[in-house]
Amino acid sequence: MKIIDKFLKNPNKTLFSIEVLPPLKGKKITDLFEVIEPLIEFSPAFIDVTYHPEEVLYKRREDGLIEEIPLRKRPGTVGICAAISYKFNVETVPHLVCVGFSKEETEDALFSLYYQGIENILLLQGDKKNNLVVKSNEHTYASDLVKQVNEMNSGRFLHEETENELQTDFCIGVAGYPEKHFEAPNFNTDLKHLKQKVENGADYIVTQMFFENKKYFDFVQKCRDIGIQVPIIPGLKPIDSKRQLTLLPSKFHVDIPDELTNALEKAKNKSQVEQIGMEWCIQQSIELKKAGVPCLHYYTMSKSKIVAQIAKSVF
């Protein structure tokens, strides 16, 4: 079932969903199943599976020259999503990104997903790193990626002059940033880019993690004010280590409130850190659920213990 249809079917209910990482190459798929298993009792509406583009590995050859080797540390999402769907009978949402993915590779991936019966996708620009393999004709912006998928939904494929009899039917999710995407010059420009993604065919929005609900509520209101009417799902992440006090702001460009920061800094051990992070996320979740958000989406980083405890307190 499409994500958007799940919201329409449950208009007065806040659903539960999670995001997981594909296992590193060499790890077993059962390792990922063990992460998901404790969360199935909460009936996730869907499970997002992240995508990781090829990176360049620089290796010195016997003749002394440096060789560039394309390397993907985690397998693609098509097989992982199919395995999760088969194992748990749950909707899976593979990520597709612009970075390191040509338009032709995007189309091939979409056909593979379509033939697997996967109806939902999340489209992202992707992180730009210096060591990524760059394709000459990759999309620059997520709005262009959304447009390509919407074209396929209308039977228009690359390098074909006429509409095809086959039409895909993907439900398209995109990312939103309550604290502004770090590349956008200002918040209003970022909102205009988000509106463009919706106008190009996006069906719903999942936000970047945030730690103050006011930022989410303000973000939703600003979206509504400029005509964005699709469902906006809050994304939440329980902090479980002191290292994340610096890692999360630097990697995801989010603020952590003074009250939470001070409490975490005073924690004497990892157990106390996890408890503080969990309780903060529970309070966020309860307030958001009372406000009637369509779904609470948890970034698990492939760790389920704390998210399961949060879910028990909220759902």
Tell me the chain's radius of gyration from C-alpha atoms. Answer: 20
Dihedral of alpha carbons 109, 111, 112, 114, sign: positive
Average pLDDT estimate for 164-185: 93
Alpha-carbon gap, residue 261 to 253, rounded angstroms:
15
Pairing mode, if any, of strands 66-71 and 55-60?
antiparallel
Closest C-alpha to 98, from 109, 90, 111, 83: 109
Strand segments (E) across the chain: 15-20, 46-49, 55-60, 66-71, 92-97, 120-124, 171-176, 204-209, 232-236, 295-299
Query: Annotated catalytic, 19?
Result: yes
Q: How many domains are there within the chain?
A: 1
Q: Count how many residues are written for the chain.
A: 315
Dihedral of alpha carbons 176, 177, 182, 183, sign: positive
Cα angle value 35/39/41 (rounded, 5°)? 140
Domain hosting 170: range is 3-314
Alpha-carbon gap, residue 66 to 16, rounded angstroms:
48
CATH number, domain at 134? 3.20.20.220
- pTM (predicted TM-score): 0.91
Which of the following is catalytic: 19, 91, 138, 274?
19
pLDDT tens per residue across span 58-97: 567 766 666 666 556 666 788 899 999 999 999 999 999 8
pLDDT tens per residue across span 116-174: 899 999 999 876 655 555 667 888 889 999 999 999 999 999 988 788 888 999 999 99
